[in-house]
Amino acid sequence: MRIEHRTLNRLLIILFINLLYAQSAGAVESKNFAGMKFIFIPAGCFQMGNNKPPTDRTVGETPSHRVCIDKPFYLGETEVTQREWEDVMGNNPSKSKVEDKPVDRVSWNDVQEFIQKLNAKEGGTFFRLPTEAEWEYAARAGSESDFCFGDNERSLATYAWFGNLGYKGTPHEVAQKKPNDWGLYDMHGNVWEWVQDWYDGTYYSNSPANNPTGPETGKYRVYRGGSYIGKASNLRSAVRFSALPTTRTHDVGFRLARQLD
């Protein structure tokens, strides 16, 4: 009987370990809203910005600072596709028209119109752009390295479309590369992604620690993540670019956030 009990105990321990692993793996919770897939992003804290000594090119990414996102939210599993845009807006402004490619040539202002129409269609105010802090928190998925998977650029092609310098080529269909640990595709590369915030290159020096939403006013809006025409160094999780909110270009799209009910 002692052997049987020991065997049973071992089986229970193995079962418990497997259950814990399954729960951890299952932390990537996906749901469909308005015909789009979203990933649950838990509340938490992270180190935002570039933790390496600043250069002229990276000074806007510093100082590295602790930020806490105290409310969970949903973030689009992929960039908004041309099909999803056309379903709401009735047009497709993209350079290369393929329904499962991310929509591009949309300005920040265009995206606000899309969100307004989508919310009206869904009967609420659930959908929005992520804040810059929410975007980086989700892109890092627990990492503190240059990329979600580490610092080695040689591994980037597993996760990202990039490197077609000089506007050669077009964006690629979404979700063709490996996702980050939270199940989000193309957070590095494919198209840049508009976020909600105004841009200020010195904002990190006085950013609040909890739920920062960027400066109250500004001239430029932030976009993140790099694109298919970008250098590997421009796809780092900390990189910040900006443009006028009226700007439309071939390698900028967006990803939606959705507030919890």
Q: Which domain holds residue 172?
A: 31-258
pLDDT of 85 > 70? The answer is yes
pLDDT of 125 > 80? The answer is yes
CA distance readout (Å), 251 to 2, 29, 116, 192: 67, 29, 23, 6
pLDDT of 254 > 50? The answer is yes
Q: What are phi and psi of 124, to 5 degrees?
A: -170, -165
- Residue 9 is which amino acid? N
pLDDT tens-place string over residues 171-228: 999 999 999 999 999 999 999 999 999 999 999 999 999 999 999 999 999 999 999 9
Distance CA 233, CA 75 (A): 24
Distance CA 18, CA 21 (A): 5
CA distance readout (Å), 132 to 83, 88, 123, 213, 248: 25, 25, 26, 7, 19
The CATH code of the domain that includes 104 is 3.90.1580.10
Quote the radius of gyration of the chain (alpha carbons, Å): 20
22 lies in a domain?
no
Residue 165 pLDDT class (50, 70, 90 cuts): confident
pLDDT of 56 > 90? The answer is no
3 lies in a domain?
no
pLDDT of 167 > 50? The answer is yes
Q: What is the count of structural domains for the chain?
A: 1
Question: Which residues, at least 6 apart from 238, have a Cβ–Cβ distance to it below 8 Å?
Answer: 48, 49, 50, 58, 61, 136, 146
